[in-house]
Amino acid sequence: MSDNTIVYWAPPNEIAALNNTSKNMVTNKLVKTRLILDKILDNIKSGDKVAIKVHVGEALNTHYLRHDYVHEVVKAVKFLGAIPTLVETQGGGNHLEKIEIHDNYSICIGHRKNASEHQAIAKLHGYDVTIVGAPLKFIDGEKGIERKIIEINGITLKSVSVAKYLYNYDKLLVISHFKGHPQAGFGGALKQLGIGCVTKHNKHLAHADDMLKINERKCDISQCKQECISSCPVKAIKIENEKAFIDAELCYGCFMCFLNCPIKRAIKKPKRNEINEFTDRFIDSATAVISSFGAKNIRYINFALDIPLMCDCVPNPGMVVVPDLGIFGSSDPVAIDKACFDAETKAPGLPILKQDGQWTKPLEKGVEKFKAMLGMLNPIRQFEAALQNKIGSTDYELIQI
């Protein structure tokens, strides 16, 4: 592409017809996916190992990006003679959460925290080599902690733990499902980079202000069996001067020490980051990914389809809040997210059915829907932070295909 501020756009309209002709099939969303890819995959050459960053969706979530689109991406990469691999990272935390619905029905959520559970959910959602045509690999390892530390001069962060095995690939194609997010306001390409390509260390540091720490006034190793040490999966805890000590460089915030410590308040939980701090930190992480992998080696495709209020990480993301906006492609992660954000703002909202059976009045065109519905959010902070870190442009030319 000649200009990295170009964003290609395939509008969401489709022609309903029984006849399978080029006139109506060119409006099919899977066909339009290929047309977008033909515009943006100019950097891929035969023999390249291409990492296709995906998000397979949490268990019980039914709004994740369906596998059909991923299949089209894989086919396009193979057509160029390259070797595609779906890549993903583990979710934060360390254990499943069981929820009792009633006496003989319970559900488990939080399946994306280790490779075996994550792989099972991926297969259930169609992200399987037999369906999409490419294998799924976890670039941060079995537990989500295999990393390469990248030094940056970010807004908040000076180093970032990027997923170690991302660097096994020559090119990166980031697939994003554009949707709402309860902290960032929305999730798109920037969040796929800054949360989706880093290890649990930086996932934790995006959401929390610090790692867990020992409260030295409360810690008393004579009153316990050092359960914190035995429960830590990365051996980040040791005894120094008759007190436990947590190595912040090794800790990734799984909270197992906190959950297993028998002494009340002996381990301090970190504070949850406020909205702007959360955003600044994951934009810093995105900056580390781009700077270390190389901006010229990365391309982006955003699917602004089936757009709920919450992200694909949660099991219950809510109803769709705006109509389909189309498919976007670019070499600039800031421009592509800004194009989706602008389209969402310009679009009319959709009515939402409340628990009392009444439909809400749709939000009007010109209203930013996620901020209006979720309250105290600052979605434009993503763009402010990205511009401060110089990783893209909010000035773009939208080219309709």
Residue 83 is given by DSSP the state E
- In sequence order, what are the beta bridge partners of 400? 9
Q: What is the pTM of this model?
A: 0.94
Token pair listed for 178? 């554009």
| Cα–Cα dist 220/293, whole Å | 46
Domain boundaries, the chain: 6-207+273-400, 213-268
The pLDDT of residue 4 is 59
The pLDDT of residue 2 is 43
The DSSP annotation for 336-380 comes to HHHHHHHHHHHSPP---B-TTSPBPPPPPTTS-HHHHHH-S--TT
Q: Model confidence over 26-37: pLDDT tens digits?
A: 999 999 999 999
Token pair listed for 373? 């519905």
102 sits in which H/E element: strand 97-102
The pLDDT of residue 24 is 85
Burial-class residue 133 by CB neighbours within 10 Å (0-12, 13-18, 19+): middle
Place of tokens 């997923």: 163
Q: Which parts of the chain sit beneath pLDDT 70?
A: 1-4
- In sequence order, what are the beta bridge partners of 272? 208
70 sits in which H/E element: helix 67-79
Q: Model confidence over 162-201: pLDDT tens digits?
A: 999 999 999 999 999 999 999 999 999 999 999 999 999 9
Topology, domain 213-268: Alpha-Beta Plaits (3.30.70)
